[in-house]
Amino acid sequence: MNCSFDFKDKIVVITGAERGIGLALAKGFAKAGGRIVIFGILDEEFPNAEREIRDAGGECLCIHADVSSEQSVIDAVKVTKETFGRIDILVNNAGINKLFPAEEMPLAVWQQIMDVNLTGVFLMCREVGKVMLEQGTGNIVNVASMSGLIVNPLPQTQCAYNSSKAGVIMLTKVLANEWAERGIRVNAIAPGFTKTPLTAARLSNLEDPAVKKWIGGTPMNRVADPEEMVGLVLYFASDLSTFTTGTCVPVDGGYTCL
């Protein structure tokens, strides 16, 4: 058995990898030989992402794609298939969050979070899944959240986000089961609090009661760096985990133990 991560020439599609956790994952795959395709909406971040991935030793194609739009996903997958002929690995990382008390959550915001976080993962899996089923092989890793496993203590009022991420964890199990005998594995990671643009504004104020609870509630007494998500995602995507499918593993400094 090859015990190192080797993704030489593997086509790796990662959604939302223009920055944050997605970019760290893209650089991790690039260092291990993967050829990266980013599906994202922040076009202004594309040049920086491309440069960082090239500096990590890889190559990168950025495609403007909104994962919440069925047509956008269909078009972007088609371009990828036409360009590379195959898709070996899909990482569904794109995600958003907006906080409202449940009784004040506007339906449009609830819907937007579901559209990106859950329907987006479904659409990506459906379209890339067709390519992988045709190939008879493929590997999908979903970036869920520990918020799909537990309820974050107040003042985090994020009923839509938590529900969407719980949905991602169940979708991971369902697809793993449907495709288990057809060459496709599907797993998920559940990050804890991580330093990214999504959390930067809050993390800049250590007196923020939410930040105090995030850090204080984490046995390791800190938040994660995005790079700390790389190892598990590469493991799931590699041949070191060939009997592992349908699972979700927290990477949370021990938060969900409590």
Ligand X SMILES: NC(=O)c1ccc[n+]([C@@H]2O[C@H](COP(=O)([O-])OP(=O)(O)OC[C@H]3O[C@@H](n4cnc5c(N)ncnc54)[C@H](O)[C@@H]3O)[C@@H](O)[C@H]2O)c1
In the bound state with ligand X, the residue whose beta carbon lies nearer, of 135 and 235, is: 235
Terminal-to-terminal C-alpha distance of the chain: 36
Question: At 191, is the secondary structure helix, strand, or coil?
Answer: strand
CB of 116 to ligand X, least distance (A): 4
Q: Side-chain half-sphere of 125: how many Cα atoms within 13 Å?
A: 27
In the bound state with ligand X, the residue whose beta carbon lies nearer, of 67 and 77, is: 67
The two three-digit tokens of residue 135, written as one number:
């190939």
In the bound state with ligand X, the residue whose beta carbon lies nearer, of 133 and 166, is: 166
d(CA 132, CA 182): 9
Would residue 161 show up in a list of annotated catalytic residues for this protein? yes
Chain residues binding ligand X by CB under 6 A are: 15-16, 18-22, 40-42, 66-68, 93-96, 116, 143, 145, 191, 193-194, 196-199
d(CA 86, CA 55): 24
Q: Side-chain half-sphere of 41: how many Cα atoms within 13 Å?
A: 12
Centroid of chain to Cα 175: 16
Helices and strands (H, E) in the chain, number of each type: 9, 7
In the bound state with ligand X, the residue whose beta carbon lies nearer, of 32 and 143, is: 143
CB of 4 to ligand X, least distance (A): 26
The two three-digit tokens of residue 214, written as one number:
């995030």
d(CA 117, CA 67): 9
CB of 191 to ligand X, least distance (A): 4
One of 29, 122, 161, 214 is an active-site residue; which one?
161
In the bound state with ligand X, the residue whose beta carbon lies nearer, of 48 and 242, is: 48
Sign of CA dihedral 74, 76, 78, 84: negative
d(CA 174, CA 122): 11
Q: Which residues are catalytic?
A: 161
